[in-house]
Every structure is written in C-alpha cells, then in structure tokens.
Structure 1
Amino acid sequence: MNHLYIITHTDLDGIGSAASILRILGRKRSRDATILYAEPYNIHEILESLLGYFESGDLLVVADLGLNEENKARVFELLESIVDKGVRVEWYDHHVWDPNDITKIMGLGVSIYIDRATCATGVVVRYATRSRGLEPDKFLIELEDVVCSADLWRWSNPLSPKLFRAAGSREERVEWRGKVIDKIVDGKLWDEELEAKLEEYMNQELRNIAKIIDTVYVSEFNNYRIAVALKDEGPPSNSIIGALLIERFKAHIAGIIRPNGGLSLRSRTVNVQKIALRLGGGGHMKAAGAKIKIPIIISILSRINPKILTWYTTRKIRGVLGVVKDINLEATSGY
C-alpha cells in the first residue's frame, strides 16, 4: 500500500472511524495518510478533488457515510475511475442502504462492510481487523463502546457525552479534529486538553440554546407533531437539539435546519429515514438527514424572522408525511 486516503463524516463517529483505521494499519495522519471530511450530499465533490492524486497501490477508505439519491450515480462513476487506477477502495458504514446500491458498489470492485448493529467506528474495528486476519486490541474495543454509546443514543458509557461534545462538533476546525484523531491513534481517549475543550463547548452550548428555542416552529399533521429549529454555527449538536425538541415540545419529529438547507431529523417513534429519502437524503430510522432547496425569498425573509425558515421546513416535512407509509416505530425498535 502506498498512500492512505480517508474520507469520513464530520462527527465523533467519523473521527473514531478514521482513528481506528489508522491504528489498525499502523499509520500516522499527515505523514502517510490524508483525511478529508464529507457529508453524504457532497461526497462526490471530495472524490472529484482527489481524482488527480490517486496512484496505483493507494488505499481509499470511506467511513460513516451513506449514499444520497441525488449524487449516487456520480459517486458510482468516480469509484469506477478510482478502482481503474489500481486503487483499493474499502467502505465502512452503518446507515440504511438500498440492496441494489450494495450490489452495484461491490460490482465496481469496492470492498463494502455494512453493519447496522453498531456505529461506523464499530464497523471499522470489527471488519477492518477481520479482513486482515487481525483481532481488535482492548483500546479499540473500548473506543467502539464510547463512540457507539453516543452515536446510537445509548449513553451507556460515562465518557460518551464528554467526548461527544469535546470532539464531535461538525463546526470544529479540521486541525482540532486531526488532533483528536492523533490522540486516539496513540491510545488516549481523555486528557486535560479535551477537558478544557469540553468546558468551552458547554459554555457555548448554554448560550446558544436560548437563541435556538426562539426559532422553533411547531406544527401538527396527521396526528404527528413536528418541531423545527434553526441552527447556525456552533454548539449544541443536532442530536442534542433533537432531544430537546422532542422533550420540550412533545414532538414526534424534530427537525434541525441550517441556513444552507442542511436538514437533520430526529425521532423516537417515527422512521425519519423514510422522510429523509423522500427529500433526497438518508440515514437511520431515528436519525437521518437531507439537504433541501430553500427559495431565495424564504432565505431573505428568514434573516429578518428565523421562524419563516422553520415554518417552511415544517411544510416540506408535512408534504412528505402526506405520501409516505408505515413510518411508525415501536419505542424499543432499532436505530
């Protein structure tokens, strides 16, 4: 193997996935590995940016990223070109995939590992070792537990909420994410620097929650209560906002919309992955996302009154609820 390229998600699970593959392969970031961060809706852009750098014998690892309907055809085209260059491609994920897409991607020569019973970090820990005839070390097993506890909303590990906040914000600079990855590769899950980052994050989170609550628009449709909040840069995370909307507004569906149209959906009783698919996205049953197009007039007016954007977003969700079927979940159903 020559150079290692990793494309991963921006959250803690993406960070844990990247750190895991580096630790398994005995690689170090920057020196002999390049890490780039992506969302499902722009992964094709990241692949395009790397196309001219790949050489025969390189390894490309994609982790914690599913496919979007709007760009998956382009992703397939790019993967075919990359494999044709002699690059080995491995894809690790835990989101819901269309079986036809799995067949297609395998047919291109990509080694794909999907396991919805764990988080993406767990998929890497379990399958990147197994495919190489290795066993995960104790630290990797501990890392899987910490990350999955947060990413799957179990919160069973006491370190999870701390590391989730200190390391997993998508707004964090690339340099900080890289530093966290380096710590994990070196076998460190917590230290004074992470403790200081947690304190900084919590202070920002408390300041921003009040502003976010002021943007919430609540709507009811077909016996479903929808609560949508506008999130700009900074803490708290989408998962924390989603939990807040569900609890405070007794919402069946929580939506977190960004000014650029990035939409995250959370629920405990509704399969929001089906809603996200209709909007061109994907994800899990209880946590999914998509990117919606915001009319210019809505974008302008929402700068004056943020509730215009959250109102518009509830209308988009209501439109999907009018056509999707069988979206109710039992409270104890899987992620």
Structure 2
Amino acid sequence: MDDELIDEAGIPRSRYTRLPGKGFFYPDSLDEERAERRAKEAIEGSEAVVIADGDADGLACAAMVREAYDAALDVADFEAAIAARLAEGDDGEEASEDAEEAGEDAEGEVTDDGDDPTDDAHTRSPVGLVAAGPYSLDTSLERVLAYADDDVDLFVCDLCPDDYEWIAEPLEALAEETASIRWFDHHQWDEETAEAVRALGVDLVIGESDEECTADVALRSLDHAFDDRWAELAAVTRDHDLWIKEDPRSDDLADYSYWAGSEEYATVVGAYGADLPETVEAFVADRRVEKEARIDAAVDRAVTHEVGAWTVAVTYGRCSQNEVAEALREAGADAAVIVKPAGSASIRGSEAFRHAHEVAGKVNGGGHPQAAGCKPDIYDDMLDYAQHWTTEGQACKRVILAAFEAVAEEVAAAEGDADGPDADGTDAEE
C-alpha cells in the first residue's frame, strides 16, 4: 500500500477522521509477534507481573504495585524522551488510538525507532507490566503462564471477563503455578464468574462501580504504607473514571494515559502522582489541539433517535468518546453512541439511562451501566469495512440501535410487571 494513502498530512480532517489510524492497516500477525516478544521480555524473571487495563485507572494500579515492591523505574529518562518528542513535533496520538480502537495491548502505542532510551523500559523493572484491553485478557494470562517463573506474584487490575470459560484454562493453570493471584476491579461482575475466580484461591476484590475506581480498590487492598500522594492520585483518577469531573487534573491524567505508552504513564504518575510535571503538561496541551477539533467534528455528525423513553444520539469518527458523549448529553441526549472507524463503538449513558452495559452485551460487548463498549460481529472482509467507512458506520449503527430497542422493550416489560398483580396474586386494582 502506498504510504501516502494513509498519511494524514494535507488531508482535510473531515476526511481522515472517517478512517482508522495507520495501525489498522498493519497486519495483526505482525502486531501479535511484537506484542508476544515484548510480553516475554517484560515477564521473564520478574518477581511480580501486573496485567492491567491500559487506561489511567489500570496503569495507576500498576504504579501502586511497583511502589509496593520498590520496583519503580527512573522517571528522568521518560521526561527526556517526552521533551525530545515535543521538540521534533512527533505525533504519538495515532498509534495510541489504534491500540484503543482495536482493544489490543496498549504496548502497541510505542514504536521502536532505535533512538528512544525508553524503548527497553518494559524489561527493566522486577515487576513486569502487561497492558491489556478488554478483549486480550485471555491472551495476557496465557503469556504470563508461558513466560513467568512458577513462584511469581500475579496482579490483574481494572479488567472484567465477560465469561469465566473464556479465561478458565490459563487462569486455572496459573492458580496452580503462581505464588499468589490478586485481582482488583470495579466493573459489573457476573456472580457466577466472580465465584468461579474466587474458587481458585484468587484474592478478587471488586469495588462499587459507581463509588470507586480500581485505583481506589488497589490502594486499600495492597499491604503497603502509601503516602498521601497515592490517595490523591486515586481520587483524581476516580474523578475521571466515574465521570465526576470536579478536578481539572483528571482530564490531564486521562488524556496523558491515552497518548503515552503504558510504561511511561505508570512511571510518571508513580513519581509525581496527580500533579504532572511541566514537560508532560506541555505534551498534553500540544495533543489537545487536534483532540478538540476531532470532538467538534464528531458532535457535528451526530443524529438523534427516539428509542422508547430515551433520546439516543449516534455519531461516527475518530475522536475522544467521553468528551463527545458529554457534549451530546448537554445537547439533550440520554445516551450517546460513538461508532469508530475501526468497527468498535462506545456507549455512554446518563442519570436517565443506566443500561449501557445491557445494550453492549447484545452486540459483543459489556461494561458499566453508564459506560460500555462493543464491536458488533458484522465485518467479514475488507469490503464490509469499506462500506463502514463510506457510510459512516451505518450497519454498525443499525445493530446497536436494534439493541437499544430490545433493551427498551425489556425495561418496559419489567416496569409493567412491577405495576402488575400484587404479591398475593390479586390484581392491584382489585
């Protein structure tokens, strides 16, 4: 493929935001080879391994585990690398978007160009970090099983399996071979899945999803005397993760985790907590110019639909889904759907709509009542993707709106049952 076809330079934003980032066009097999190699390098010989979601919440947990093991990396190398990227005008946003959209390991965010002194950072700490997405947890567990020492301590942070059977084989083997497995999360767990995980001897701690983020759970669960900056980091992370939005620093953390590599983010917040250094603040500010423009484009594309009692706004494009959803809520939507060019979609709710995870569950996804994600199983070949891009995700939008309709019918039926016969079987009017 001609590189110029996927190079955004000189292409109007109205066009390139309708397409996936460059990484989408890079063969999965090559991505898998690199992810496998990096995981092996991070895991082998480690005293402990952390499998964590590659967002601010999961990586804050990884930083806490490293602090507890006295295994943090030197932040100076990362600050120098950030300053160098700023000076060169390097755009690190593209690769991080690709990793997020694909739901793959966040280690794919950073490219090995041979000049960055942090390229081998994943090999340096005695606490290995494996960043995982919601669809790669099983693969990450398999990699720990393949490469970790038998007496390793394993931590899983900010990840919830949709189905126990999906992770059963590697997790059961790890329960036999590791020294310990501790799992911290705050998502909505199926009771049977939680019971099956705990039955293996896993120390599973699940926080209240509308009160705690996983950093809160890790902070109170780890046996270590953390100083006050860690409690502050958890509080600011929670501010964004639960969409409280009272502390302006939480947007900085969320954006930085999105644009930085996982090793970089865990190291920087481990050293500075919620108050990011000037170099990082400059990096975040630089990236936000493009971010805001993409948000505006996605909001302009939105179309609203009335589904049951809800107003659902649906849009398409490469953008920051949380900010787009907030803008659509402010415009009157009860729920927002942001369909991405890579085929996935984010579903965001509100106080009037707390069924995002139910909708996502009907289209190959899951999550929280007010924040969920999915990737409908409708893409059989590149022609399907071509149609997806040229129609701004119409097929994906249709199946998700159908899921909204199904959930609306279920909610209406449940409300009807609640207003029906009394407990003694007699009709309420009688």
Report TM bin, short chain.
0.7 to 0.9
Q: TM-score, normalised by structure 2?
A: 0.67
Provide the C-alpha distance between the structure 1 equivalents of 2:238 and 2:207, rounded to a whole number of angstroms.
Answer: 12
Residue 257 of structure 2: aligned partner: 168
Does the C-alpha gap of structure 1 residues 227 and 109 become closer, same or farther in structure 2, counting only changes over 3 Å?
same
Give distance in 1, aligned partners of 2:247 and 2:260. Answer: 26
Residue 10 (str. 1) matches residue 54 (str. 2) = yes
Q: Which amino acid aligns with 1:238?
A: Q
Match of 1:212 in 2: 298
**Matched residue type, 2:155:** V
Distance 2:228 2:309 in 1: 47
Q: Give the counterpart of 1:255 among 331, 337, 343.
A: 337
* Alpha-carbon separation, structure 2, partners of 1:152 and 1:181: 20
Hey, what's the Cα distance between the residues in 1 that align with 2:321 and 2:413? Answer: 21
Gapped regions of structure 1 (runs ≥ 5): 329-335
1:228 and 2:310 are equivalent in the alignment: no
* 2:359/2:404 contact within 8 Å kept: no
- Rounded to whole Å, the distance in 2 between the matches of 1:217 and 1:313 is 15
Equivalent pairs counted in the alignment come to: 313
Q: Look up the match of 1:184.
A: 269
Give the number of the structure whose residues are more often helix, by fraction: 2
Contact 2:308–2:405 (CA<8 Å) still a contact in 1? Answer: no
Alignment check: 8 A CA contact 1:274 1:327 kept = no
Partner of 1:304: 390
CA contact (8 A) 1:257 1:313 kept: no
Give the C-alpha shift of residue 260 in structure 1: 3.4
Structure 2 contact 339–393 (Cα < 8 Å) conserved:
no
Q: Does 1:245 align with 2:328?
A: yes
Q: Does the Cα contact within 8 Å between 2:341 and 2:393 map onto a contact in 1? A: no
Opposite residue 52 of structure 1, the aligned amino acid is A
Structure 1 residue 16 displacement after superposition: 1.2
Match of 2:196 in 1: 104
* Residue of structure 1 aligned with 2:227, choices 132, 137, 157: 137
Cα distance in structure 2, aligned partners of 1:10 and 1:313:
28
Deviation at 1:323, TM superposition (A): 4.5
Q: Which amino acid aligns with 1:17?
A: C
Q: TM-score, normalised by structure 1?
A: 0.85
Identify the residue that residue 374 of structure 2 maps to in structure 1.
Answer: 290
Q: Is the Cα–Cα contact under 8 Å of residues 67 and 282 in structure 1 kept in the other structure?
A: no
Alpha-carbon RMSD across the aligned residues, in angstroms, is 2.4
What is the aligned counterpart of 1:25 among 66, 69, 77? 69
Give 3-state SS (helix, strand or coil) of 1:251's partner. coil
Question: What residue is the counterpart of 1:37 in the other structure?
Answer: 131
Contact 1:93–1:114, Cα closer than 8 Å, also in 2:
yes
Residue 361 of structure 2 corresponds to 277
Deviates more, 1:145-154 or 1:304-313: 304-313
Q: Take 2:180 and 2:231, find their aligned partners in 1: how far apart are those partners?
A: 26
- Counterpart in the other structure of 2:280: 194
Unpaired runs of 5+ residues, structure 2, are 1-44, 74-123, 415-430
Once residues 35 and 316 of structure 1 are traced to their aligned partners in structure 2, the CA distance between those partners, rounded to angstroms, is: 39
Q: 1:323 to 1:58 in 2, by over 3 A?
A: farther
Distance in 2 (CA, whole Å) between partners of 1:218 and 1:23 is 47
Bigger Rg, which one: 2
Determine the structure 2 residue equivalent to 1:333.
Answer: none
The Cα of 1:158 is off from its aligned counterpart by 3.2
1:170-202: per-residue Cα shift (whole Å, max 9, x none)? xx353xx32221122224431112111221221
Identical amino acids, percent of aligned pairs:
23
Contact 1:229/1:310 (<8 A) preserved: no
Name which of structure 1's ranges 236-245 and 119-128 shifts more when overlaid on structure 2. Answer: 236-245
Q: Partners of 1:27 and 1:206 in 2: how far apart?
A: 36
Task: Find the counterpart in structure 2 of residue 114 from structure 1.
Answer: 206
Q: Which amino acid aligns with 2:173?
A: S
Q: 2-side partners of 1:14 and 1:197: how far apart? A: 21
Contact 2:51–2:156 at 8 Å: present in 1 too?
yes
Separation in 1 of the partners of 2:128 and 2:314?
36
Structure 1 residue 325: deviation in Å?
2.3
- CA shift in 2, pair 1:54/1:307, >3 Å: closer
Summarize deviations over 1:54-93 as a string: whole Å, max 9, x none: 2221011111111124xx3121221101111234211100
Q: Which residue of 2 aligns with 1:68?
A: 162
